[in-house]
């Protein structure tokens, strides 16, 4: 076990006494890659199984419980869409409310409720979180790295979009944990890209625009880089714009030009899929050729570079609008941008390079493979963490995660480990009992899911909350770590402004050995912790649904006897599942109850409106 030493006071950082490889991972919406530093140069790792170095971020679940990731999974999308999960990154750290207004239409089932809970995907009788799904992609990358480097890999740096919030970053970190990786740092994708281009190593100040056009998303980030500190000045983008849209434009163009009909042709969905693959092939071919020609069911079809450019120009125009917005947000004119970096497979398209270059009025940086640049940068970051690059500065970081205890003894992390200090982060909580006037806040440090396995730093009570129904108070808890590494915790009830604050000193008074042990512990117990956490979360969620159902039954005495009976029956099934079922059984019982009660709730609404019209009071 490598020893880890971190001293926040004097600024020295993580060092490994026994070197063990740290890999850099780009966990993409469309494709993922793993990279490592070899002879001072970052290289993308591959094994015999993956034909290309890119691993499509696609996970297929076979009928008999096997899990297939990557190219092979991609081939199964058409035949078995309901068991083949793609674009998981869009769901990371998202609640049902977050995705309810997006035009999400996947071939697989995302559970739908209008609750403020994290989304789950349903396959057969299993309910899978985006964290579990992403962990399969990460596990595949870990295997590739292990086979390629002939050693066990348990440490990684993973990249995320600059706009990812705390929950999304935490979800990515958890996915790493679940895949058996200690995620030493979460790095912004544009930061990694800049690192790959060697920006940040010099003792200079630069403003960089990173233009990232991938398979399904577009991001523009403007970074200010000085003395090794990467600051994101602004980010913009479009979460539904990328190479897939170019493929669709080509398909539609061909359908119209050659009067193709997707439905009538033999082959049905396969024909549509073939056409899509052909469109993507045409797009890629046109990045380095002027004309694309092919046969589709004995018909000659073709597309010229010019025709393609006309099709996609409006889409590229949209990305430039985002670029302008991000300049505006950063209060910068385009002539203040020192370099423009091209990221993402779709920036291979000549028209994209040309239009971006014209917009920023300068040559763009495209010498590094655009779909590898983020992973290569992540490998450089990993190398910095491994202590192999003294030319680069590292920021002060928190050695272990800090958080508070929530219902069920769960650790709710507020400042994740390896956050830069000074730092500040907060979250809102509420009460769980009607009329609750005091709230005990217990602060913990550590990586395990249950506070009992972590180290308690202190405890205090927020007193004098005005009595309200459970769930009504809005309690804001802020964690503030100053430059000296001292944590202050502040709790405020926002409706009444009742506040209290404590200072928690010497939070880093843990020996190196103790810290290494805590980290090792958290690595070894990931699977059981996650299972236990998922069960407790499902139980808590189930309890809420039971309470709601009781309220609903109380308030709606006009319901028909059969409806009441059925609701009661579904409710008691749920109650018994909460008592002794697995998380999947609880989820399934909840799902059944919700499905049955949803139309009744609509009926209740109508009923109440009618009662009101009759001069009665609304309940
Ligand atoms: P993400 O970051 O979203 O995971 P990538 O950066 O890997 O995605 O980009 C994938 C997209 O790049 C796909 O739409 C793919 O068709 C496109 N792409 C890859 N190579 C080329 C090329 N030579 N010309 C045009 N588009 C390409
Ligand atoms: Mg990407």
Mean pLDDT across the stretch 118-133?
A: 87
Q: What average pLDDT does the structure give for the chain?
A: 84
Among 276, 309, 342, identify where a domain stops: 309
How many angstroms is it from 619 CA to the middle of ligand 2? 51
Mean pLDDT across the stretch 114-127?
A: 78
pLDDT the model gives residue 416: 85
CA distance 341 to 345: 13
From residue 28, alpha-carbon distances to 25, 57, 92, 169 in Å are: 9, 7, 12, 13
How many angstroms is it from 219 CA to the middle of ligand 2? 9
Q: Can 122 be counted among the known catalytic residues?
A: no
Mean pLDDT across the stretch 473-499?
A: 83
pLDDT the model gives residue 288: 96
pLDDT the model gives residue 587: 93
Nearest-CA residue for ligand 1 atom 8 is 214
- Residue 286 counted as domain residue: yes
Neighbouring CB atoms inside 10 A of 288's CB total: 9
pLDDT the model gives residue 240: 85
CA distance 517 to 531: 22
How many angstroms is it from 158 CA to the middle of ligand 2? 12
Q: Can 212 be counted among the known catalytic residues?
A: yes
Question: pLDDT tens across 180-199, in order?
Answer: 998 888 888 998 999 999 88
**CATH code for position 25:** 3.30.420.40
Nearest-CA residue for ligand 1 atom 13 is 215
CA distance 176 to 61: 20
CB 336 within 8 A of CB 207: yes
Q: What percent of the chain has pLDDT over 90?
A: 46
- Residue 351 counted as domain residue: no
> pLDDT at residue 104 above 60?
no
Reported as a pLDDT band with limits 50, 70 and 90, residue 42 is very high
pLDDT the model gives residue 617: 43
DSSP 467: P
Pairing of the two strands 455-462 and 439-445: antiparallel
Residues of the domain holding 177? 21-197+370-385
Looking at the fold, whether 159 and 56 belong to one and the same domain comes out as yes
Cα–Cα–Cα angle for 215, 133, 525, rounded to 5 degrees: 140
Q: Which residue among the candidates 14, 26, 238, 247 is catalytic per the annotation?
A: 26
Looking at the fold, whether 272 and 165 belong to one and the same domain comes out as no
CB 279 within 8 A of CB 247: yes
190 against 520, higher pLDDT? 190
Which residues are registered as beta bridge partners of 462? 439
| Whole-structure pTM value | 0.69
- Residue 231 counted as domain residue: no
Reported as a pLDDT band with limits 50, 70 and 90, residue 586 is very high
Burial 293-316 (b: 16+ CB within 10 A, else e): eeeeeeeebebebebbbebbeebb
CB 279 within 8 A of CB 302: no
Question: pLDDT tens across 283-333, in order?
Answer: 999 999 999 999 988 889 999 999 999 999 999 999 999 999 999 988 999
91 against 618, higher pLDDT? 91
Question: pLDDT tens across 197-251, in order?
Answer: 988 765 678 999 999 999 989 999 999 887 666 777 888 888 889 999 999 999 9
> pLDDT at residue 417 above 90?
no
571 against 52, higher pLDDT? 571
pLDDT the model gives residue 385: 78
Closest CA to 171 of 129, 114, 214: 129
Q: How many domains does one find in the chain?
A: 4
The number of the ligand 1 atom at minimal distance from the alpha carbon of 244 is 14
**CATH code for position 277:** 3.90.640.10
pLDDT the model gives residue 266: 52
Q: Which residue among the candidates 140, 146, 182, 189 is catalytic per the annotation?
A: 189
Looking at the fold, whether 49 and 180 belong to one and the same domain comes out as yes
Looking at the fold, whether 166 and 186 belong to one and the same domain comes out as yes
Looking at the fold, whether 406 and 277 belong to one and the same domain comes out as no
pLDDT the model gives residue 162: 82
**Nearest ligand to the C-alpha of residue 377?**
2
131 against 227, higher pLDDT? 131
From residue 463, alpha-carbon distances to 115, 163, 435, 467, 486 in Å are: 30, 36, 13, 11, 24
Looking at the fold, whether 33 and 111 belong to one and the same domain comes out as yes
Mean pLDDT across the stretch 396-415?
A: 84
From residue 598, alpha-carbon distances to 95, 288, 365, 480, 603 in Å are: 19, 54, 53, 42, 9
Looking at the fold, whether 508 and 376 belong to one and the same domain comes out as no
Looking at the fold, whether 506 and 598 belong to one and the same domain comes out as no
Closest CA to 312 of 256, 217, 241: 241
Nearest-CA residue for ligand 1 atom 20 is 345
- Residue 229 counted as domain residue: no
**CATH code for position 556:** 1.20.1270.10
Q: Which residue among the candidates 89, 142, 155, 177 is catalytic per the annotation?
A: 89
Among 292, 309, 326, identify where a domain stops: 309
Looking at the fold, whether 447 and 580 belong to one and the same domain comes out as no
**CATH code for position 416:** 2.60.34.10
Question: pLDDT tens across 269-295, in order?
Answer: 667 778 888 999 999 999 999 999 999
Looking at the fold, whether 43 and 161 belong to one and the same domain comes out as yes
Closest CA to 540 of 493, 500, 574, 504: 574
- Residue 258 counted as domain residue: yes
Pairing of the two strands 339-343 and 205-213: parallel
Q: How many residues does the chain have?
A: 619
Question: pLDDT tens across 13-30, in order?
Answer: 444 444 578 999 999 999
Looking at the fold, whether 34 and 179 belong to one and the same domain comes out as yes
- Residue 138 counted as domain residue: yes
**Nearest ligand to the C-alpha of residue 292?**
1
- Residue 275 counted as domain residue: yes
- Residue 224 counted as domain residue: no
pLDDT the model gives residue 279: 95
Would you give the distance in Å from CA 293 to the centre of its chain? 39
The number of the ligand 1 atom at minimal distance from the alpha carbon of 286 is 24
**Nearest ligand to the C-alpha of residue 375?**
2
Surrounding ion ligand 2 within 5 Å at CB are 28, 214
Closest CA to 546 of 589, 486, 604, 501: 589
Q: What percent of the chain has pLDDT over 70?
A: 84
Q: Can 189 be counted among the known catalytic residues?
A: yes
Question: pLDDT tens across 342-368, in order?
Answer: 999 999 999 999 999 999 999 999 999
Among 355, 385, 415, identify where a domain stops: 385
- Token pair of 275 as six digits: 């056409």
Q: Cβ < 6 Å from ligand 1: which residues?
A: 28-31, 54, 214-217, 242-244, 280, 283-284, 287, 344-346, 348-349, 371
- Token pair of 27 as six digits: 């966990």
Residue 45, class by beta-carbon neighbours within 10 Å (0-12 exposed, 13-18 middle, 19+ buried)? buried
CB 58 within 8 A of CB 70: yes
- Would you tell me the crossing angle of helices 305-329 and 269-286 to the nearest 10 degrees? 80
How many angstroms is it from 101 CA to the middle of ligand 1? 26
- Token pair of 316 as six digits: 């590229």
Looking at the fold, whether 499 and 545 belong to one and the same domain comes out as no
């Amino acid at each position: 076990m490598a020893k880890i030493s971190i001293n926040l006071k004097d600024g020295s950082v993580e060092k490994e006494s026994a070197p063990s490889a740290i890999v850099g991972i780009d966990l993409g919406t469309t494709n993922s890659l793993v990279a490592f530093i070899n002879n001072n140069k970052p290289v993308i790792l591959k094994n015999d199984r993956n034909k290309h170095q890119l691993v499509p971020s696609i996970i297929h679940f076979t009928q008999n419980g096997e899990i297939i990731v990557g190219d092979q999974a991609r081939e199964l999308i058409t035949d078995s869409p309901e068991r083949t999960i793609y674009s998981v990154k869009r769901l990371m750290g998202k609640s049902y409310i977050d995705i309810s207004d997006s035009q999400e239409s996947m071939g697989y089932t995302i559970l739908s409720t209008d609750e403020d809970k994290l989304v789950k995907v349903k396959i057969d009788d299993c309910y899978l979180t985006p964290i579990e799904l992403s962990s399969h992609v990460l596990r595949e990358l870990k295997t590739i790295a292990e086979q390629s480097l002939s050693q066990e890999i348990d440490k990684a740096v993973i990249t995320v979009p600059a706009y990812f919030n705390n929950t999304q970053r935490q979800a990515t970190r958890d996915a790493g944990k679940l895949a058996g990786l200690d995620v030493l740092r979460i790095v912004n994708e544009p930061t990694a890209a800049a690192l790959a281009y060697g920006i940040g190593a010099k003792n200079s100040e630069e403003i960089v625009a990173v233009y990232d056009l991938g398979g399904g998303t577009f991001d523009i980030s403007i970074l200010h880089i000085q003395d090794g500190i990467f600051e994101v000045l602004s980010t913009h983008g479009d979460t539904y714009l990328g190479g897939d849209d170019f493929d669709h434009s080509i398909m539609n163009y061909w359908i119209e030009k050659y009067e193709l009909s997707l439905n009538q042709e033999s082959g049905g969905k396969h024909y549509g899929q073939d056409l899509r693959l052909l469109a993507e092939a045409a797009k890629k071919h046109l990045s380095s050729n002027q004309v694309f020609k092919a046969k589709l069911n004995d018909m000659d079809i073709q597309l010229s570079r010019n025709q393609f450019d006309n099709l996609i120009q409006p889409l590229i125009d949209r990305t430039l609008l985002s670029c302008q917005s991000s300049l505006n947000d950063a209060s910068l004119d385009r002539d203040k941008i020192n370099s423009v970096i091209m990221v993402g497979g779709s920036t291979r398209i000549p028209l994209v390079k040309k239009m971006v270059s014209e917009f920023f009025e300068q040559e763009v940086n495209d010498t590094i493979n655009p779909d590898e640049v983020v992973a290569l940068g992540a490998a450089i970051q990993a190398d910095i963490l491994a202590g192999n690059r003294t030319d680069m500065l590292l920021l002060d970081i928190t050695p272990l995660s800090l958080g508070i205890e929530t219902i069920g003894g769960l650790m709710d992390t507020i400042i994740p480990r390896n956050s830069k200090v000074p730092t500040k982060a907060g979250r809102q909580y509420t009460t769980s009992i009607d009329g609750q006037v005091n709230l005990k806040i217990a602060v913990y440090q550590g990586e395990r899911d249950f506070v009992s396995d972590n180290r308690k730093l202190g405890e205090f009570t927020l007193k004098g909350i005005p009595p309200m129904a459970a769930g009504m108070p809005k309690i804001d808890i802020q964690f503030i770590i100053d430059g000296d590494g001292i944590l202050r915790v502040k709790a405020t009830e926002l409706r009444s402004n009742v506040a209290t604050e404590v200072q928690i000193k010497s939070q880093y008074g843990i020996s190196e050995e103790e810290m290494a042990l805590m980290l090792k512990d958290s690595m070894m117990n990931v699977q059981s912790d996650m299972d236990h956490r998922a069960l407790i979360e499902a139980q808590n969620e189930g309890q809420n649904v039971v309470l709601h159902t009781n309220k609903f039954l109380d308030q709606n005495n006009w319901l028909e006897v059969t409806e009441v009976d059925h609701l009661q029956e579904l409710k008691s099934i749920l109650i018994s599942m909460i008592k002794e079922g697995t998380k999947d059984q609880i989820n399934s019982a909840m799902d059944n109850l919700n499905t049955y009660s949803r139309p009744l709730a609509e009926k209740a609404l109508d009923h109440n409106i009618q009662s009101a019209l009759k001069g009665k009071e609304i309940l």
